[in-house]
Amino acid sequence: MIYFVTGNKGKHAEARAIFGDLVQKDIGYTEIQADTLEEVAAYGMKEVSSRLEGPVMIEDAGLFVDALHGFPGVYSAYVQKTIGNSGILRLMERVEKRSAYFKSVVAYAEPGQESVMFKGEVHGKIGFEERGRKGFGYDPIFYVDDISLGEMEIEEKNRISHRAASMNALKEWLEARKG
């Protein structure tokens, strides 16, 4: 059993489809203002592992739009809350270069152990409109092969997503350790 500290139901549903034995803990932690997702996750992990007894996992993700020089990146949560998907679409009006990627950093630790980190990315495009209601956050505007992540069932998203990549890497690491 692993504690997954997140307040995001969408993330939890995706992670549960990978790990099965996962308990969501919506206890919050400090998300520092930093230049990289890795720094945010490392700081958060220190805080969370001092508060929970047992194997614990957190995950930090961001959307990086090439034409916007990587924006919103580490500011993805704030930008989603403020200008949202329609704001990103407005920033991308008349922009031809639509490439973007999501990155996920997952941190995991057991009591008294050093934490480990795994990363994943999915590359795609910012569409011209929002499509689909299945995912969360930026899913409706992020397209892979002309289908938005918002149009995908969890199983489909988990075949390609940044989060599935980072979490499957952790899962493999845990399984390899078991021997």
Catalytic residue annotation? 60
C-beta nearest to ligand IMP: residue? 137
Give backbone dihedrals phi and psi of 105, rounded to 5 degrees, phi first.
-120, 120
Closest CA to 59 of 104, 9, 27, 28: 104
Nearer to ligand IMP, 103 or 171 (CB): 103
Residue from the set 49, 137, 164, 165 that interacts with ligand IMP by CB under 6 A: 137
Contact (CB, 8 A) for 58 and 106: yes
Q: Shortest CA distance to 106 belongs to which of 15, 10, 179?
A: 15
Q: Is 80 in the site for ligand IMP (CB under 6 A)?
A: yes
**Residue among 12, 103, 163, 171 that touches ligand IMP (CB under 6 A):** 163
Asked whether 68 and 82 are in contact (CB, 8 A), the reply is no
Radius of gyration of the chain (CA): 16
Judging by beta carbons within 10 Å of its beta carbon (0-12, 13-18, 19+), is residue 24 exposed, middle or buried?
middle
Contact call for residue 24 and ligand IMP (CB under 6 A):
no
| Contact mark string toward ligand IMP, 89..118, x via CB under 6 A | -------------x----------------
- Told to check if 61 binds ligand IMP by CB under 6 A, we report yes
- Site residues (CB under 6 A) for ligand IMP? 8, 60-63, 76-77, 80, 102, 135-139, 149, 161, 163
